């Protein structure tokens, strides 16, 4: 059982600057599953990725691909949150992807093998046409394709994505989701997808982890994305409604709960709805 889990977390607690990010978190993600991590800004979604990457120490048991987290694990691909890039920075898309091959190696000079892999990956994500422009001058969607190419070029078993759809329009959101879905289908890899909106990836989501103000709930989408679970989690009346296959989470003010809304939740008690493996 354990061998087939890409991620196993048991009784893990994480505190940052004295603030509990999560308590007694227990979660397992079998290989080749898709985990969507949802919750408001500052709830600790990115922290979860940092723990899995070995950049943040957390209490309890944490295993990634059967081993404790460690920095520099080449079996993990990481797509960090987008940030503005200087348009003058002389780094092209192919250079960014190349960094995914050997950017961490203390070696000077080129390697034709690395160049070939970069070319293949650029073609595979449909980035060949803009691979020679400065990355800072590319659109958000183009940059995200390159980021995903960079994460996948090392042929990882686990892909961690931090809000990869942020600031993309619907068309580009769909393209990025499709890229990830087809990679997963082809390689059987596992995906952890941090997002404040679950809808673009709902159809491929096997498991949802919701983190709100120090509390969490994990399970199948139909277990977690319910009025009861979300109300418990937020500690306030929350309605989860389905509109033409999309899930909308509404606070009692009627405002949809998205990345820009944060309910002031005190981590008073820890209620959890756990998944049954």
Partner 1 sequence: MSLLRYDFVQNALVAGAIIAVVAGLVGRFVVARNLSFAVHGIAEVGFTGAAGAVLIGVEPVLGLMSGALLAALGIGTLGVRLRDRDVAIGSILAFGLGLGVLFLTLYTRYATEAFTILFGTITGVSRAEVFLLMGLGVVTLLALAVISRPLMFASVDPEVAEARGVPVRALSIAFLVILAIAVSEAVQVVGVLLVLTLLITPAASAQKLTARPALASLLSVLIAFGCTMGGILVSLVTPYPASFYVSALSFGSYLLARLIGPRLAASARRGADQAPATALRDGQPGLQVGQSPEKTSL
Query: Which residues contribute to the site for partner 1 (CB under 8 A)?
Result: 53, 55, 71-74, 76, 78, 80-81, 88-92, 95-96, 99-100, 102-108, 120, 123-126, 128-130, 132-134, 137, 150-151, 174-175, 178-179, 182-183, 185-186, 199, 202-203, 221, 242, 245-247
CB of 195 to partner 1, least distance (A): 14
Place of tokens 């969507």: 36
Determine the distance from the C-alpha atom of residue 110 to the mean position of all C-alpha atoms in its chain, rounded to a whole number: 32
User: Is 42 within 8 Å of 19 (Cβ atoms)?
Assistant: no
Q: How far is the CB of 157 from partner 1 (least distance, A)?
A: 15
Is 12:61 a contact under the CB 8 Å cutoff? yes
Phi/psi at 193 (5° precision): -120, 105
Find the helix or strand (DSSP H, E) in which 141 lies: helix 140-152
Q: Which C-beta is closer to partner 1: that of 215 or that of 249?
A: 249
Closest approach, Cβ 269 to partner 1, in A, equals: 30
Closest CA to 180 of 145, 128, 154: 145
Q: Judged by CB, which is closer to partner 1: 125, or 191?
A: 125
Q: Least CB distance from residue 267 to partner 1, whole Å?
A: 27
- Cβ distance to partner 1 smaller for residue 18 or 109: 109
Q: 164: closest CA among 212, 138, 190, 197?
A: 197
CB of 130 to partner 1, least distance (A): 6
Distance between CA atoms of residues 151 and 249, nearest Å: 31
Q: Are 247 and 198 in contact (CB under 8 A)?
A: yes
Largest CA distance in the chain: 60
Cα 32 to Cα 81, 189, 270, distances in angstroms: 23, 5, 30
Residue with Cβ nearer partner 1 (124 or 210) = 124
Q: Which is nearer to partner 1, 236 or 247 (CB)?
A: 247
**Which CB atom, from 23 or from 173, has the smaller least distance to partner 1?**
173
Q: CB of 27: closest distance to partner 1 in angstroms?
A: 20
């Amino acid at each position: 059982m354990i061998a087939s889990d890409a991620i196993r977390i048991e009784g893990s607690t994480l505190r940052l600057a004295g603030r509990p990010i999560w308590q007694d978190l227990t979660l397992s993600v079998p290989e080749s599953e898709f985990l969507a991590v949802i919750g408001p800004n500052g709830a600790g979604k990115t922290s979860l990725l940092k723990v899995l990457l070995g950049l943040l120490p957390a209490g309890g048991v944490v295993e990634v691909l059967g081993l404790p987290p460690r920095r520099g694990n080449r079996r993990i691909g990481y797509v960090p949150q987008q940030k503005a890039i200087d348009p003058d920075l002389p780094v092209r898309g192919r250079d960014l992807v190349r960094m995914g091959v050997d950017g961490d190696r203390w070696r000077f000079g080129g390697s034709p093998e690395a160049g070939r892999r970069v070319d293949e990956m650029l073609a595979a994500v449909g980035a060949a046409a803009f691979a020679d422009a400065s990355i800072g001058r590319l659109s958000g969607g183009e940059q995200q394709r390159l980021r995903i190419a960079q994460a996948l070029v090392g042929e990882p078993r686990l892909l961690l994505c931090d809000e990869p759809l942020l600031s993309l329009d619907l068309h580009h959101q769909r393209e990025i989701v499709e890229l990830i879905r087809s990679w997963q289908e082809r390689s059987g890899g596992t995906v952890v997808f941090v997002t404040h909106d679950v809808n673009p990836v709902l159809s491929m989501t096997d498991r949802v982890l919701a983190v709100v103000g120090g509390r969490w709930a994990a399970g199948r989408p139909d277990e977690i994305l319910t009025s009861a679970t979300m109300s418990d989690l937020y500690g306030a009346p929350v309605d989860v409604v389905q509109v033409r296959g999309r899930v909308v989470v509404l606070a009692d003010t009627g405002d949809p709960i998205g990345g820009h809304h944060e309910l002031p939740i005190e981590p008073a008690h820890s209620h959890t709805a756990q998944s049954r493996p």
